[in-house]
Amino acid sequence: MERLALKHGLWLVVADGEKALFMKNDGDAKFPNFEVFSELNQENSTTRETVSDKPGRFNDGPSPHRSAVQETDLNKLAKMRFADEIAEKLYKAAHNGDFEYIVIAAPPSVLGELRKKMHQVVTDKIVTEIPKTLTNLPVYDIEKMLQAA
């Protein structure tokens, strides 16, 4: 497996369903120095806190039997919309030529949503994807992990 080249100017997006950090390597491959230049945050409340009604029910025809309707998972929906925001920001930056290479680190579910939403202009610049949650780690630890990759 080829080592990840942490070139000067490489962008790194570390995201989860509620937070996205946009970083740029101001150092080089040997001594990376990632600086956070932008951050997106989204407050996701649980569905239980947002929905006040009981799940819906419907009749199954002439019998007295009734079936429940599954509730919409508003938290999951908010995370999907947040992936839209991240993808849109990356598209604008790629279209403006703000980055040449990018690494994306996110949990597998968020990474999957991002893949669906990202434009070809962005996906062509992806060097690697890291299917892990790194948003709660200090930048220094993220740099060390990337160096080891």
Higher pLDDT, residue 3 or 56: 56
Average pLDDT estimate for 26-38: 92
CA distance 146 to 149: 5
Running DSSP on this structure, what letter comes out for residue 95? H
φ, ψ for residue 96, nearest 5 deg = -80, -5
Q: How confident is the model at residue 20 (pLDDT cuts 50, 70, 90)?
A: very high
Mean pLDDT for all residues in the chain: 84
pTM, 2 dp: 0.77
Domains of the chain by range and CATH?
A: 11-42+71-148 (3.30.420.60)
Query: For residue 149, what pLDDT is reported?
Result: 72
Q: Is 76 left (phi over 0), alpha (psi -120 to 50) or beta?
A: alpha
Average pLDDT estimate for 16-28: 93
Query: For residue 81, what pLDDT is reported?
Result: 85
Task: Kindly tell me if the per-residue pLDDT of 15 is higher than 90.
Answer: yes
Task: Kindly tell me if the per-residue pLDDT of 94 is higher than 60.
Answer: yes
